[in-house]
A and B are shown apart, each in its own frame.
Chain A
């Protein structure tokens, strides 16, 4: 991976947005201290690792947009990949709570958060590792980003154990440690599981012990039992039960004494007693029913007398009805005559009234001479006549006779109805008595039929049937007593029969004990095998843990020639001209110490901070950094970021460093910052492009204010004909 550009927004010393083209073999960044050079380096570091060194986090304090974002443009084997990190919660005041998820955009995919971290880890790591991204990313950054203060601190300020851990991570021992941790974790879980399994067997062991105890007790009980005598009694009882002649049961005459057989025989007896009790209940119910008195049967004479009286009254009633009918006709005729007479009288009155208005000596109607006075009196009499008394009295007489006849007819009807009702009641009483008697006979037939296998028997007389029922009840009661007695006698075998159950229980417990013992043995064997596995794993784990030092030591030994090349190129010390890194284990911890050696007189020092000047220590630190990066190649990042490496280097070491950088140029992209314009010019001259396809770019930070830095950028001209002596 090679860095081709960066856009910084609201990050570090950039309040607005700054975009810088980094698509060059050499990027020289120059500017006064505080102008934001280090911001570029930190932005690259933050984009990859998500970690920032500032106490307030990565935010720019003067940012107006509130956005904090770094877009890192990169080239992965010819494919453009954009790595972006931005603050999600820029207002958060606690730097530990800031969230800045990673995003990765390739030409055909986009990833965010954990997925982006996985993508980056896989594409930057040398091996397919699942190490924690934060630690791994920091290791990546440490291997490509040279910060003088942190390197010098690595050499002179850190404990030798911390140095070992840092270098171990860089040389790939992190995967070894990850493997050891994983193995350790599985081992702990394994031990826990084995211990739990072993504890779980305690229950089985206790159960096996309990079963053994139970077996001993049962064996003792069985040995004490007298089966011979009990068997004789059993046979007697069994025969007695057989003699009861219980129908429809299996033949139990050969059943041996056992809890099961005892239970089965009891079942037979109980079933028989239950059947007897059912019959008994039924018969008692019938007996109670038969003891209720039958209703009286009316005699035939009373019924005949009532029949005759009915006939007589019926005839009388018919006669009276005829008489009433005749009288009704006579009344209707008298009324009709009376109505006709009334109508004539009214016509005469009307005519008389009219003639009265014309009374004279002659009749106004016929002209006949009349006595006027008499004529008037006669007319007035006619006009005032209102009733025909004789006709009315005749009609009233006929009506009186009719009413008398009707009253007499009604009385006869009432008497007839009473006689008929009584006759019907006596008839019903007689039918009911006959039915009750028949019902009792049928009931008796039914009861006896249920007791007899030959079907219903003939019942001639009810009293005889009742007597037979009483006898049958006595017989059933006696049989019930026999069965109950047999059941009571069976109780004597309970204790003996339970011993038979003990035998069965003994056999069952013995079988269960054998199974449990076998199962327990297999489980204990498995646990023992798993404990052996844990022992072997312990040996392996110890060897693996110890190997971390061997691995790091081997790797450092392999690195030695390269480290010496780099150290010699800068050549910081006139006598301590040989350098190596030694590892050792002390106090159970791995330790790492840089060793400087004067080989001419065989003197070594293990504390460079006390022997070397600041400039010399810096030169050693740079040598270590470069040798780790090129020697171990801990990441696929082909860029090196050197933040102001000039600090405290004198001229000759500075030239040595620049010469070294020029030799690294074919292998790494270089991004170098400096506050020293002379050094920047030296870099531009020494690291100039010497062919058309190489590029050195110069980024100058011209100012810094609250709006951010001023940035200028130009390319160092390529030298297309660099050879001056050798003809090209």
Chain B
């Protein structure tokens, strides 16, 4: 598999996929006519999310305000002012190049500016240069879009009994884990673990093999 350069299209596709995974629906049909062609709008029960693409960080720094105005206008035209959703807008700003040293602070200010809508900024610095699979983009994109995406709880460790996996974990430091199995079983049934271990060792001595 060859590595591909991360393009704007790949990024947009991944953003769209991740938003859809979180039941955030695209609402292009109501998009304001003045929006650029590669901008997008999304909605879920709580919020309205706009995605705005810039060719460079400089352009982003220069144009994020106008983009925010467009989003506010969109909200104003479709959501009444007292509606909570009127205060629940997000603007995802994309720039497909790295952040020049001189604009780091500026980008930080944009991120920290919580007036009107919340701004989420994603630049090439947040992404790998090349990828073999578009899914490789997911963790990078998810990190920026975390405030709007559902939690990914599929990989949570959850509750577990440390004793059940204990023999596997310490197998490397023991000649055999069968003795440990006997000790754990005795402990869980309220019997003496030492007596259980002793019986196991005696049985092994008498038969010359590990008891089943």
Which residues of A does B touch, CB under 8 Å?
126-127, 171-173, 175-176, 179, 182-183, 186-187, 189-190, 529-530, 532-534, 536-537, 539-540, 543-544, 546-547, 550-551, 554-555, 558-559, 561-562, 564-565, 568-569, 571, 574, 577, 600, 630-634, 650-652, 655-656, 659-660, 662-664, 666-667, 685-686, 688, 690-691, 719, 722-726
B148-167 Cβ-contact flags toward A at 8 Å (1 or 0): 11111101111111110110
B45 touches A690 (CB 8 A): yes
A-B contact pairs, 23 of them (CB 8 A): A126-B159, A172-B160, A179-B184, A533-B197, A533-B201, A543-B170, A547-B166, A551-B166, A558-B155, A562-B153, A562-B155, A564-B143, A574-B108, A630-B156, A633-B156, A655-B114, A655-B118, A685-B87, A685-B88, A719-B84, A724-B78, A725-B27, A725-B29
Which residues of A lie under 8 Å from residue B150 when comparing CB positions? 663, 666
Which residues of B lie under 8 Å from residue A540 when comparing CB positions? 174, 179-180, 183, 197
B85 touches A659 (CB 8 A): no
Determine the distance from Cα of A600 to Cα of B114 in the docked complex, in whole angstroms: 26
Which residues of A lie under 8 Å from residue B111 when comparing CB positions? 571, 574, 652
B148 touches A659 (CB 8 A): yes
Q: A183-B187, A725-B48 are in contact. Are A176 and B162 (CB under 8 A)?
A: yes
Which residues of B does A touch, CB under 8 Å?
25, 27, 29-30, 41, 43, 45-46, 48, 78-79, 83-85, 87-88, 104, 108, 111-112, 114, 118, 125, 142-144, 146-153, 155-163, 165-166, 169-170, 173-174, 179-180, 183-184, 187, 192-194, 197-198, 201-202, 205
Which residues of B lie under 8 Å from residue A691 when comparing CB positions? 45
* A-B complex: 8 closest residue pairs judged by Cβ atoms: A558-B157, A126-B159, A725-B27, A659-B147, A569-B146, A722-B45, A690-B45, A176-B162
Which residues of B lie under 8 Å from residue A532 when comparing CB positions? 201
B151 touches A172 (CB 8 A): no
A722 touches B169 (CB 8 A): no
A-B pairs under 8 A by CB, number:
180
B201 touches A536 (CB 8 A): yes
Which residues of A lie under 8 Å from residue B192 when comparing CB positions? 186
Since A534-B194, A571-B146 are in contact, a sample of 17 more A-B pairs with Cβ atoms closer than 8 Å, ordered by chain A residue number, is: A126-B159, A127-B159, A127-B161, A171-B157, A172-B159, A182-B187, A529-B198, A543-B170, A562-B156, A568-B142, A569-B147, A577-B143, A650-B112, A655-B118, A666-B150, A691-B45, A719-B84
Q: A183-B187, A632-B159 are in contact. Are A686 and B88 (CB under 8 A)?
A: yes
Determine the distance from Cα of A722 to Cα of B84 in the docked complex, in whole angstroms: 9
Of B78, B87, B156, most A-chain CB atoms within 10 Å: B156
A172 touches B43 (CB 8 A): no
Closest Cβ–Cβ distance, residue B155 to chain A (whole Å): 5
A187 touches B194 (CB 8 A): yes
Closest Cβ–Cβ distance, residue B164 to chain A (whole Å): 9
Determine the distance from Cα of A663 to Cα of B46 in the docked complex, in whole angstroms: 11
A630 touches B147 (CB 8 A): no
Residue of A nearest to B43 (CB): A725
Which residues of A lie under 8 Å from residue B169 when comparing CB positions? 547, 550-551, 554
Closest Cβ–Cβ distance, residue B57 to chain A (whole Å): 15
B147 touches A726 (CB 8 A): no
Residue of A nearest to B90 (CB): A659
Closest Cβ–Cβ distance, residue B149 to chain A (whole Å): 8
Which residues of A lie under 8 Å from residue B165 when comparing CB positions? 551
Determine the distance from Cα of A298 to Cα of B41 in the docked complex, in whole angstroms: 169
Determine the distance from Cα of A652 to Cα of B109 in the docked complex, in whole angstroms: 10
Determine the distance from Cα of A571 to Cα of B149 in the docked complex, in whole angstroms: 14
A633 touches B46 (CB 8 A): no
Determine the distance from Cα of A529 to Cα of B201 in the docked complex, in whole angstroms: 8
A539 touches B160 (CB 8 A): no
Which residues of A lie under 8 Å from residue B194 when comparing CB positions? 183, 186-187, 189-190, 533-534, 537
Q: A565-B146, A725-B30 are in contact. Are A533 and B157 (CB under 8 A)?
A: no
Which residues of B lie under 8 Å from residue A534 when comparing CB positions? 194
A633 touches B158 (CB 8 A): yes
Closest Cβ–Cβ distance, residue A651 to chain B (whole Å): 4
Determine the distance from Cα of A664 to Cα of B146 in the docked complex, in whole angstroms: 12
Q: A179-B187, A533-B198, A536-B201 are in contact. Are A544 and B170 (CB under 8 A)?
A: yes
Which residues of A lie under 8 Å from residue B147 when comparing CB positions? 569, 655-656, 659-660
B173 touches A546 (CB 8 A): yes
Q: A544-B166, A565-B151, A724-B85 are in contact. Are A559 and B157 (CB under 8 A)?
A: yes
Which residues of B lie under 8 Å from residue A659 when comparing CB positions? 146-148
Which residues of A lie under 8 Å from residue B48 when comparing CB positions? 724-725
Q: A176-B163, A565-B142, A724-B85 are in contact. Are A543 and B174 (CB under 8 A)?
A: yes
A529 touches B202 (CB 8 A): yes
Determine the distance from Cα of A656 to Cα of B111 in the docked complex, in whole angstroms: 11
Residue of B nearest to A173 (CB): B162
Q: A127-B159, A543-B174, A722-B85 are in contact. Are A182 and B193 (CB under 8 A)?
A: yes
Which residue of the partner chain, among B43, B108, B152, B162, contacts A551 with CB atoms under 8 Å? B162
Determine the distance from Cα of A17 to Cα of B183 in the docked complex, in whole angstroms: 52
Of A600, A632, A634, most B-chain CB atoms within 10 Å: A632
Q: A537-B197, A633-B159 are in contact. Are A688 and B84 (CB under 8 A)?
A: yes
Which residues of A lie under 8 Å from residue B152 when comparing CB positions? 561-562, 565
Residue of B nearest to A636 (CB): B159
Determine the distance from Cα of A559 to Cα of B160 in the docked complex, in whole angstroms: 13
Residue of A nearest to B107 (CB): A574
Closest Cβ–Cβ distance, residue B194 to chain A (whole Å): 4
Which residues of B lie under 8 Å from residue A663 when comparing CB positions? 149-151
Determine the distance from Cα of A544 to Cα of B167 in the docked complex, in whole angstroms: 9
Determine the distance from Cα of A726 to Cα of B31 in the docked complex, in whole angstroms: 12
Closest Cβ–Cβ distance, residue A347 to chain B (whole Å): 140
Which residues of A lie under 8 Å from residue B170 when comparing CB positions? 543-544, 546-547, 550
Residue of A nearest to B201 (CB): A533
Which residues of B lie under 8 Å from residue A686 when comparing CB positions? 46, 84, 88
Residue of B nearest to A690 (CB): B45
Which residues of A lie under 8 Å from residue B88 when comparing CB positions? 685-686
Determine the distance from Cα of A690 to Cα of B46 in the docked complex, in whole angstroms: 8
Determine the distance from Cα of A61 to Cα of B104 in the docked complex, in whole angstroms: 55
Of A179, A190, A536, A537, most B-chain CB atoms within 10 Å: A536
Closest Cβ–Cβ distance, residue B76 to chain A (whole Å): 11
Determine the distance from Cα of A640 to Cα of B78 in the docked complex, in whole angstroms: 35
Determine the distance from Cα of A633 to Cα of B159 in the docked complex, in whole angstroms: 6
Determine the distance from Cα of A181 to Cα of B152 in the docked complex, in whole angstroms: 37
Which residues of A lie under 8 Å from residue B146 when comparing CB positions? 565, 568-569, 571, 659-660
